[in-house]
Amino acid sequence: MRDRSFAPSRILIYLVVTLFAAAYLAPLVVVVLNSLRTNEEIAQGSMIGWPQHLAWGNYALAWSGFCIAETCAGIRPYMLNSALVTIPATIFSTLLGAVAGYAVSLWRFRGDNWIYGIVTLGLFLPQQMRLLPWTIVLRDIGLINTLWGLVLIHTIQGLSFTVLFCRNYYIAIPHELIRAARIDGAGFFRIFWRIILPLSAPILIVTVIWQFTHIWNEFLYGVTFTTGQQQPVTAALIALSAAVADIPQHGVQSAAVIIAALPTLLIYLFGGRYFVRGLTAGAVK
């Protein structure tokens, strides 16, 4: 099984794996190639092709050149906006989800199953349905058109996922550990801080990766609840692609897509190994 007994057919395995990998990589390769072709070059041929000469200018334009109406600053300022929303919302939803997951799994209190059930149901409530209610809520608490409003939305909505995964992870921790600590006089936070948190790295990496990518890639709330210069990076990408009334700028668009996806891609590149490890511990229950 996990030894070398498969040896004769290993060539086949490598072949299949390579084919799969090629299929998964193809879209990325196409975008990378297009990001190095000029708009005209793409328009003359097809979307799939080798750059005739490397058009690095696309990246300069995408990063700080192209215009969205009167603002010609490229994608750069919007990257910052996205970071200002994504980083706090990821931290808050992960931390609060970890504490709540820990409470639900290891402390048990009246109604815990109910509230846990309801919160995780949130995974299935479609986003577009929540747009108007959020508008009303943000109006009433005065956070409309602020980045903090978006942080609040993503924190609360993100809890559905973080609580689910943290709870499933913590439930595997032996309760004797907690009981012993309580007998020693440790309280809720002390146990969390001293015992639970040090054990949590794998699952926190999973929730951080998940939350970060989801919030970073969000568009609908991002354009509705911000104004002018506060828009997230997805809005800038759409501005490049949805110019229906114009000649497609596929080269610059591809470069912008690559730049905008870099933070999340890097997170998967470096965190991917822990992702699987964390899931091994967390989601399997």
Q: Is the Cβ of residue 79 or residue 178 nearer to other proteins in the bound state?
A: 178
What is the rounded distance in angstroms from the CA atom of residue 121 to the CA atom of residue 130?
14
Q: Write the CB contacts of 204 (distance below 8 Å, at least 6 apart in sequence).
A: 94, 98, 278
Other beta carbons less than 10 A from residue 142's beta carbon? 10
What is the rounded distance in angstroms from the CA atom of residue 148 to the CA atom of residue 88?
9
Q: Is the Cβ of residue 124 or residue 198 nearer to other proteins in the bound state?
A: 124
Q: Is the Cβ of residue 53 or residue 70 nearer to other proteins in the bound state?
A: 70
| Residue 36 CB, nearest approach to other proteins (Å) | 15
| Residue 56 CB, nearest approach to other proteins (Å) | 21
Q: Is the Cβ of residue 49 or residue 51 nearer to other proteins in the bound state?
A: 49
Would you give the DSSP letter of residue 146? S
Number of H helices, E strands in the chain: 14, 0
Structure token pair of residue 174: 């032996």
Q: What is the CA radius of gyration of the chain?
A: 23
Q: Is the Cβ of residue 67 or residue 80 nearer to other proteins in the bound state?
A: 67
Query: Is 176 exposed, middle or buried (CB count within 10 Å of its CB: 0-12, 13-18, 19+)?
Result: exposed
| Residue 176 CB, nearest approach to other proteins (Å) | 8
What is the rounded distance in angstroms from the CA atom of residue 38 to the CA atom of residue 43?
9
Structure token pair of residue 178: 């907690």
| Residue 54 CB, nearest approach to other proteins (Å) | 20
What is the rounded distance in angstroms from the CA atom of residue 234 to the CA atom of residue 135?
20
| Residue 267 CB, nearest approach to other proteins (Å) | 7
What is the rounded distance in angstroms from the CA atom of residue 187 to the CA atom of residue 178?
10
Would you give the DSSP letter of residue 47? S
| Residue 152 CB, nearest approach to other proteins (Å) | 9
Closest CA to 68 of 269, 273, 246: 246
| Residue 151 CB, nearest approach to other proteins (Å) | 13
